[in-house]
Amino acid sequence: MEDYEIVLNARKEDRKVASDYIAALFPDFLEFHGDRLFGDDKAIIAGLGSLGDMPVTVIGVEKGKGTEGRVYRNFGSAHPEGYRKALRLMKQAEKFKRPVLCLVDTAGAFCGIDAEERGQGRAIAECLYEMSTLRTPVISIVIGEGGSGGALALSHSDRIWMLEDAYFSVVSPENCANILWKTIDRAADAAKSLGLTAKKLYELGLIDRILSGKNMSKLKESLVSEYEVLLAQSESDLLEARYRRFRKVGY
Amino acid sequence: MELKKFFLKPNNELESTGVRARSRRITCKKCQNIVPVSKIRKNNFICPECGAYMTVRARRRILMLTDKRSFFELDRDLQSMNVLGFPGYEEKLSQAMEKSREKEGVICGTATIGGYKTCIFAMDANFMMGSMGAVVGEKIARLFEYATGRNLPVIGVTVSGGARMQEGMISLMQMSKVSAAVKRHSDRGNLYIVLLTNPTTGGVDASFAMLGDVTLAEPGARVGFAGPRVIEKTLKTKLPEDFQRAERVLECGFIDAIVPRPEQKKYLEKLLRLHGVHKMRS
């Protein structure tokens, strides 16, 4: 697939969304709502479930299904309260010493007057800031779209995995083409130049694993064994490795 | 060609020095009045006619905020590379270097402010609109690590359009890198003061610009995550006049104080003193 096809494919409505993964991986999932500050953001599904016999805090950016479902989930674009809910539950995971799984699938954090005035920038910054020293293992999987800061906010993890047909980008190819060449007709060129595919990002050392296929039992096995590896590390080793992981980017 | 270059005027007229500069004038973008450069410089780059805040180069900004001859620059030679082979990036970089007369979009170092020893970084709007690539992220992260190791405060002057597209995900992840370095600095009990200047947006807003212990802003500075044009396009409405302006962002609860340019140095001195920062013997 061409890079831009991967982007278009990642946006398709018939793709599996976060709730599909949650249902398949965590049959006993309990959803928790609200950020305790403002409200409950439907674009983020968060809660608790067990992976095998391991309790895990799960946070997923949810795009929803069907027109109504998509509108209800705001097409998977979170407001600040979504990131604050995610962070609240990550802190809870830290307290009860259980690992965290983030499922990333968003075109980006929501752009709107309300989102700005409730501190979209601050909400994302706080996620990065607090996750950098969260004393429990975190794995993030980009299952579809990894749209800029809104996706990055849930990717400050010990491991970043990507589906082979997902993308992760600093800017959407259309916006990039529009800014640089004043036309969205060159979105395909932009997609190619941005290096946003799982393969390219793996080569650059920015992600840790490419997941092929969507075999849920295999994914479950991989997650369990990776959490075991991470849980075996001391807290300080875990945090030091997480710091190094991002510290070396670009240098 | 070479001869032509020889006669080119410096891009940023505010920065030229010497006798010739004194006779030069610039037009205020807001009120269109023509004002002598010397007058503007004396007035902290505020238009004496209409009070508009003009863009200040990073190096000048540091001069304005720190004690005379106290600034010692760190990592001044780090330069960007076109890692992704992004079309046109090299040209953009060399244009930016010519325009800003800097090697990258941020200047970092140590200085004293009213005798208080501190680390300081200032971003430069003339370098690809202060966009953050690997070098900008690296320099700021190194500064925070330097400050953490020596228990020094950090003062950051931000101006940025966000992450630098031409470096793809490498630039986006600088947000993670710098935020983690800020956290380590903070966890050791160190002070970080941010001064938001016009505009501070995108990936910089969504990382270290919003992580200060004390968050200050210049009057009228645009501060926000998404660009106003993007929001207008998404919502198909006109935005209110004060949207994303520092005064409004303060009302929303994200800025501690708005400090006019002539008072900034004194304000920082006071803050450093109140935090018990070590004073250098002069």
Of A121, A132, A180, the CB nearest to B183: A132
Asked whether the beta carbons of residue B252 and residue A117 sit closer than 8 angstroms, the reply is yes
Do B173 and B201 lie in one domain? The reply is yes
All structural domains of chain A with their residue ranges:
3-56+83-246
**Architecture of the domain whose range is A3-56+83-246:** Alpha-Beta Complex (3.90)
| Cα separation, A24 vs B239, whole angstroms | 43
* B88 shares a domain with B38: no
Tell me whether residue B5 is in a domain: no
pLDDT digits (tens, 9 = 90+) for A14-41: 999 999 999 999 999 999 999 999 999 9
Identify any residues that bridge with B110 across adjacent strands, giving them in sequence order: B72, B119
Q: What is the pTM of this model?
A: 0.93
Per the structure, the count of domains in chain B is 2
Whether residue A167 lies within 8 A of chain B, CB to CB, comes out as: no
Domain boundary among B54, B72, B103: B54
Over residues A194-202, the mean pLDDT reads: 97
The yes-or-no verdict on residue B15 having pLDDT over 50 is no
pLDDT tens for each residue of A76-85: 999 999 999 9
* Residue B279, in any domain of the structure: no
ipTM reported for the complex surpasses 0.90: yes
Which residues span the domain enclosing B31?
A: 23-54
User: In residues, how long is chain A?
Assistant: 251
What is the 8-class DSSP label of residue B13? G
Instruction: Identify whether B111 is part of a domain.
Output: yes
Residue B11 placed within a domain: no
Which residues from B are below 8 Å from A130, CB to CB? 183
Q: Quick check: B225 and A117 CB within 8 A?
A: no
Whole-number percent of chain A with pLDDT over 90: 95
Q: What is the pLDDT of residues B48-87, one digit of tens each?
A: 989 999 999 999 999 999 999 999 999 999 999 999 999 9
B177 and B43 in one domain? Answer: no
pLDDT mean across residues, chain A: 96
User: Is residue B39 a part of any domain in this protein?
Assistant: yes
pLDDT at A129 over 90: yes
3-state SS, residue A202:
helix
CA distance B232 to B277: 44
Q: Check if the beta carbon of residue A48 is closer than 8 Å to that of residue A30.
A: yes
| Residue B18 maps to a domain | no
Tokens encoding B137 = 């992220």
Best to test chain A binding among B146, B173, B223, B254 (most A CBs inside 10 Å): B173
B43 and B88 fall within a common domain: no
Alpha helices in chain A (DSSP H): 3-10, 18-25, 66-72, 80-95, 113-117, 120-131, 148-152, 173-181, 187-194, 198-203, 216-232, 235-247
CB pairs under 8 A between A and B: 175
Residue B2 resides in a domain = no
CA distance A118 to chain B (A): 7
- Same-domain check for residues B102 and B153: yes
Same domain for B181 and B80, yes or no, is: yes
Task: Report the pLDDT value the prediction gives residue B3, as an integer from 0 to 100.
Answer: 52
Report the residue of chain B nearest A83, measured CA to CA.
B206
Number of CB atoms found within 10 A of residue B253's CB: 11
